[in-house]
């Protein structure tokens, strides 16, 4: 770092001496060095933030349609947020609760199943370990999405025998999501588990700790950051999952936000835009809060190889 | 145990000892809590399995019942025996993986070889039954059967007093059986021990359910069925179709047409007319043959495949280019308030993807959207309804969605490149562009290549964006399947299988298998490619 600044320093120092008396040249230089970067920054910020401001403004415009949403921030009222919860045809509160419930349980399950498997792959040597790891890498390439027809038929077969875990059941959907738990996350966790020195396990073993105690009380605490990343990514992934949720969940009361809001928009696209906007803002709040607070961890997890 | 002789093979003795030590350690450390949790967990699993077994045996699904028994025994064996540590840790995840990822992929492979879909989703016996049911007509001079509706354990039965005074009971798919001990009232049976007679109110409440019931008069379905319009009297209905079990043919008694099973999964007349519903059969490679030879399917399939690759590639390329550009722009220590720009630019990434697509779909609406009305002053640009503009809009929205990720990732990778390299290149007289092009970019590509590949794989199946933004449209009206200009392979699978009245699971699965093969090809290439890139280092 110092090298670069040194490199530019002689040049810069000379010019700044000259520049003292000439404010115009200072601005020119400022612009060439960092000013244009701010212009890019401002342009990109507008590009990035505008749709979000647009949807927020639309949500504050009660009774608004797609047309009235175009006059930004012409109205400030939270009426649409109240209306949102008083529509028996579109049970938003139920969707919201279902999304949190399904997302929460599946991400907890995913973290747990993934951690168990990663521990086995990282700390134990057994026949089939290498093959197992390679298989997981391979399975990762084929998302469950591809088998959506088979998942639908399997669940409809199950619901003829056990309606409680078949079609139109949230437990069934969670089980399907857990099926993807190992494929996506174990490899990520496996890498992190390997960074925890195994001398820690050995020390605990000498002190008389069994494998279960080592796993639950020592290892799990040391790998907490990756557990948070995997948990969060899988939560975000499940909450916006549409394909499988839309074919499994049939009753409006059981649906998730992704399915419910999509149907809401496709049924009355431009008429109730304000209510949809309010729903979108509320739905985005939990995920965005988590994201912005855990930004650092997520960036770490992303570079380790997962995509939202 | 005396001192073992020196000749004893060392490793075996050690591992036996080590095993014993581990066992003792486990026993000493786990304590009763772990044991209790284990027993409780297994108890719950076993209880569910036994319940499942009970239901499965009752419905005579022997194969599934056998599988449940095998898996339950395996799980118990793993957790109750000593050792087998890896299995103990892997079993829970593997069971879910095996059912909901591996089995379903194989099962799609099987479905691709069947004609499963609307009109072909059941067995032949079910198809015969429902054909006979759906073509029922009331026999003109049918006698009036006096009827009492009974219920037992949620199942509805008809208690029928026949015109000759004898009393019988029957239900859906349960032919009438004579009973002796019915309670009679004025010559009409009104109740039976063990059953609840439904009153007028109850019948009103279950009107549709009761109206749908048809009780076979005898074992032979051609003899006709009893149905009731009002819950108090039943009439004889016979089907205008007649099933000849020996010949396996259906005969329309009105027109005399004979429909026979010619192996296409439906009764077909000589003139080629099909009676639907048919049943599910294995059709071999038919679905694949249709996909590759029928012009109305092959055309869309090829254009969708090309667009899927183009979309995935261009998405990765544009987001990476913009992300890299921004990373370079903001990777300058002299610049102030970079942190705030960064937070704002991450927002699109944090906003749930499906919502972004819906919001953009609103903004790009042709008549009312913000872009046309405000930014373009009332122009009616068909952003989402013109074939090429829609493709452009999709790439643009995906750029908005994806550039923050690439920005974050490339910033990290750029900062990880040691400064000494830049320094050395400068000393050698390289210009900034040359430094970037020949030093930084290759190094950067090595570290982000796996991420670019996984981003490609993600976009290859980026269903949400396509489906929420354009719904795959504008629709290609000349195509034989429900598909549009911006559909990618996975959204085509979804639409063929689940959207519209005509669902074709077989064809959809065949498409899924084609995607599977394409993805496998990409996977093989990308594994090789990343290896060769790593060797650069």
pLDDT one-digit tens code per residue, A203-223: 988 888 888 888 988 899 888
pLDDT confidence tier of residue B11, bands split at 50, 70 and 90: very low
* pLDDT at B252 (0 to 100): 78
The Cα-based distances of B269 to B102, B278, B340, B507 in angstroms read 41, 13, 73, 25
Q: State pLDDT tens for residues B275-296.
A: 777 788 888 888 899 888 888 8
pLDDT at residue B26 tops 70: no
Whole-number percent of chain B with pLDDT over 70: 93
pLDDT confidence tier of residue B27, bands split at 50, 70 and 90: low
* pLDDT at B216 (0 to 100): 82
B408-419 average pLDDT score: 87
End-to-end CA distance of chain A: 33
Which of A34, A55, A129 lies nearest to residue B334, judging by beta carbons?
A34
Closest CA to B144 of B164, B170, B158: B164
* pLDDT at B180 (0 to 100): 81
Taking CB atoms and an 8 Å cutoff, what residues of chain A touch B505?
149, 152-153
* pLDDT at B7 (0 to 100): 42
* pLDDT at A32 (0 to 100): 77
C-alpha triplet B84, B86, B89: angle, nearest 5° = 110
Question: Does residue A305 contact residue B450 with C-beta atoms inside 8 Å?
Answer: yes
Closest CA to A47 of B397, B328, B316, B365: B397
Single pTM value for the model:
0.81
pLDDT confidence tier of residue B43, bands split at 50, 70 and 90: very high
B443 touches chain A (CB under 8 A): no
Q: What is residue B148's three-state secondary structure?
A: strand
B249 touches chain A (CB under 8 A): no
Q: Which residue has the higher pLDDT, B522 or B301?
A: B301
Q: What is residue A256's three-state secondary structure?
A: coil
Give me the sign of the Cα torsion angle B395, B397, B400, B405: negative
CB-based contacts of B405, cutoff 8 Å, min separation 6: A302, A307, A308, B319, B323, B349, B455
* pLDDT at A229 (0 to 100): 84
Residue listed under structure tokens 């122009």: B379
Which of A65, A213, A262 lies nearest to residue B468, judging by beta carbons?
A262
Taking CB atoms and an 8 Å cutoff, what residues of chain A touch B361?
265
* pLDDT at A216 (0 to 100): 87
* pLDDT at A52 (0 to 100): 94
Q: Which residue has the higher pLDDT, B398 or B21?
A: B398
* pLDDT at B8 (0 to 100): 41
Strand order of the sheet with strand B241-244?
B241-244, B249-252, B258-261, B267-269, B274-275
Which of A58, A176, A213 lies nearest to residue B100, judging by beta carbons?
A176
pLDDT confidence tier of residue B536, bands split at 50, 70 and 90: very low
B151-178 average pLDDT score: 81
Q: What φ, ψ does residue B264 adopt, rounded to 5°?
A: -105, 5
B258-278 average pLDDT score: 77
Q: What is the DSSP string of B176-189?
A: EEE-S--EEETTEE
B364 touches chain A (CB under 8 A): no
Question: Does residue B312 contact residue B459 with C-beta atoms inside 8 Å?
Answer: yes
B506-529 average pLDDT score: 85
The tokens for B161 are 């007093």
C-alpha triplet B345, B351, B357: angle, nearest 5° = 105
In this complex, do B104 and A154 lie within 8 Å of one another by their Cβ atoms?
yes
Q: Which residue has the higher pLDDT, B133 or A242?
A: A242
B392-398 average pLDDT score: 96
B45 touches chain A (CB under 8 A): no
Q: State pLDDT tens for residues B218-240.
A: 877 777 788 887 777 888 887 77
Closest CA to A180 of B348, B101, B503, B183: B101
B107-113 average pLDDT score: 92
* pLDDT at A258 (0 to 100): 93
CA B305/CA A149 separation, integer angstroms = 19
Residue listed under structure tokens 């982000």: B448
* pLDDT at A68 (0 to 100): 76
In this complex, do A142 and B361 lie within 8 Å of one another by their Cβ atoms?
no
The tokens for A1 are 């770092």
* pLDDT at A6 (0 to 100): 42
Residue listed under structure tokens 């599934």: B64
In this complex, do A302 and B405 lie within 8 Å of one another by their Cβ atoms?
yes
**B39-43, B275-279, B424-428, range with the lowest pLDDT:** B275-279
Q: Kindly report the nearest CA distance between residue A156 and chain B, in angstroms.
A: 11
Q: Identify the top-confidence range among A38-52, B110-124, B328-342.
A: A38-52
Residue of chain A minimizing CA distance to B415 = A1
Instruction: Tell me what the pLDDT averaged over chain B comes to.
Output: 83
* pLDDT at B232 (0 to 100): 78
B474-500 average pLDDT score: 88
Q: What is residue B375's three-state secondary structure?
A: helix
Alpha helices (H) along chain A: 2-19, 23-30, 36-59, 79-84, 92-123, 129-139, 148-161, 170-179, 181-195, 198-206, 211-213, 220-222, 224-239, 243-248, 257-267, 273-293, 295-303
Q: What is the pLDDT along chain A (308 residues), one digit of tens a residue?
A: 334 444 444 444 444 444 444 555 688 887 777 788 899 999 999 999 999 999 999 899 887 778 777 778 887 888 889 888 988 888 999 999 999 999 999 999 999 999 999 999 998 888 888 888 888 877 877 888 889 999 999 998 888 878 888 888 999 999 999 988 887 778 888 888 888 888 888 898 888 888 888 898 889 988 888 888 888 888 888 988 999 999 999 888 999 999 999 988 888 666 788 888 999 999 999 888 888 777 777 666 555 544 43
* pLDDT at A178 (0 to 100): 92
The tokens for B428 are 């050698």
Q: Identify the top-confidence range among B211-225, B322-336, B388-402.
A: B388-402
């Amino acid at each position: 770092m110092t090298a670069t600044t040194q490199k530019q320093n002689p040049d810069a120092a000379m010019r700044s001496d000259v520049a003292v008396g000439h404010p115009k040249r200072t601005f020119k230089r400022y612009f060439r060095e960092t000013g244009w970067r701010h212009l890019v920054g401002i342009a990109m910020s507008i590009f990035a933030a505008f749709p979000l401001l647009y949807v927020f403004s639309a949500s504050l415009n009660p009774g608004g349609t797609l047309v009235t949403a175009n006059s930004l921030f012409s109205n400030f009222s939270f009426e649409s947020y109240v209306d949102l919860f008083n529509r028996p045809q579109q049970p938003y509160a139920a969707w919201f609760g279902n999304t949190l419930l399904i997302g929460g349980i599946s991400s907890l399950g995913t973290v747990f199943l993934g951690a168990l498997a990663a521990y086995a792959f990282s700390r134990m040597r057994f026949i089939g370990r290498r093959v197992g790891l390679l298989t997981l890498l391979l399975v990762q390439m084929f998302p469950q999405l591809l088998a959506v027809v088979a998942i639908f038929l399997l669940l409809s077969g199950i619901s003829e025998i056990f309606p409680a875990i078949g079609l139109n059941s949230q437990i069934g959907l969670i089980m399907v999501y857990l099926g993807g738990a190992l494929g996506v996350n174990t490899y990520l966790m496996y890498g992190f588990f390997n960074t925890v020195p195994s001398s820690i396990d050995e020390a605990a073993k000498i002190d008389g700790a069994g494998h279960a105690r080592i796993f639950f009380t020592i290892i799990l605490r040391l790998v907490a950051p990756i557990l948070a990343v995997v948990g969060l990514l899988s939560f975000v992934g499940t909450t916006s999952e549409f394909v499988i949720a839309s074919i499994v969940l049939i009753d409006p009361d059981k649906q998730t936000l992704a399915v419910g809001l999509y149907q809401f928009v496709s049924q009355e696209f431009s008429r109730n835009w304000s209510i949809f906007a309010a729903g979108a803002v509320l739905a985005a709040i939990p995920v965005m809060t988590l994201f912005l607070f855990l930004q650092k961890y997520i960036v770490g997890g992303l570079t380790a190889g997962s995509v939202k | 145990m005396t001192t073992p002789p020196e000749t004893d093979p060392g490793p075996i003795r050690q591992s036996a000892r080590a095993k014993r030590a581990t066992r003792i350690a486990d026993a000493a450390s786990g304590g009763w809590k772990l044991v209790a949790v284990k027993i409780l967990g297994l108890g719950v699993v076993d209880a569910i399995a036994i319940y499942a077994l009970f239901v499965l045996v009752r419905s005579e699904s022997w194969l599934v019942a056998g599988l449940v028994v095998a898996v339950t025994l395996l799980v118990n064996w793993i957790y109750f025996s000593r050792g087998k540590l890896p299995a103990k840790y892997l079993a829970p995840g593997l069971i879910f993986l095996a059912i909901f990822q591996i089995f379903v992929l194989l099962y799609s492979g099987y479905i691709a070889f069947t004609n499963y879909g609307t009109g072909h989703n059941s067995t032949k016996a079910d198809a015969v039954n429902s054909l006979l049911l759906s073509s029922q007509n009331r026999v003109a001079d049918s006698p009036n059967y006096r009827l009492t509706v009974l219920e037992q354990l949620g199942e509805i039965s008809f208690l029928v007093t026949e015109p000759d005074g004898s009393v019988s009971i029957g239900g859906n798919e349960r032919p009438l059986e004579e009973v002796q001990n019915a309670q009679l009232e004025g010559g009409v049976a009104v109740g039976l021990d063990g059953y609840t007679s439904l009153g007028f109110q109850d019948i009103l409440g279950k009107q549709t359910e009761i109206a749908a019931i048809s009780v076979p008069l005898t074992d032979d379905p051609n003899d006709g069925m009893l149905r009731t319009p009002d819950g108090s009297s039943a009439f004889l209905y016979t089907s205008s179709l007649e099933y000849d079990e020996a010949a396996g043919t259906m005969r329309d008694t009105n027109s005399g047409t004979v429909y026979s099973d010619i192996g296409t999964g439906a009764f077909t007349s000589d003139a080629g007319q099909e009676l639907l519903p048919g049943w599910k059969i294995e059709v071999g490679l038919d679905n694949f043959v249709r996909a590759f030879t029928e012009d109305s399917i092959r055309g869309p399939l090829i254009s969708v495949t090309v667009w899927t690759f183009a979309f995935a590639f261009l998405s990765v390329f544009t987001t990476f280019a913009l992300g890299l550009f921004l990373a370079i722009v903001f990777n300058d220590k002299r610049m102030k308030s970079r942190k705030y720009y960064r937070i704002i630019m991450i927002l699109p990434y944090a906003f749930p993807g499906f919502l972004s697509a819906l919001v953009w779909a609103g903004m790009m609406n042709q008549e009312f959207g913000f872009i046309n009305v405000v930014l373009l002053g009332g122009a009616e640009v068909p952003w989402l309804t013109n074939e090429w503009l829609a493709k452009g809009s999709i790439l643009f929205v995906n750029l908005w969605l994806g550039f923050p990720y690439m920005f974050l990732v490339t910033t990290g990778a750029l900062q990880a490149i040691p400064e000494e390299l830049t320094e050395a290149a400068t000393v050698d007289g390289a210009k900034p562009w040359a430094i970037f092009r020949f030093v930084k970019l290759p190094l950067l590509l090595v570290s982000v290549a796996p991420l670019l590949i996984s981003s490609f794989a993600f976009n290859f199946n980026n269903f949400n964006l396509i489906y929420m933004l354009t719904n795959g449209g504008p629709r290609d009206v000349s195509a034989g399947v429900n598909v549009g200009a911006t559909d990618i392979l996975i959204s085509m699978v979804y639409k063929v299988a689940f959207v519209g009245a005509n669902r074709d699971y077989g064809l959809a699965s065949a498409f899924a298998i084609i995607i599977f093969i394409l993805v496998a090809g990409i996977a093989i290439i990308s594994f090789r490619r990343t290896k060769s890139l790593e060797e650069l280092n």
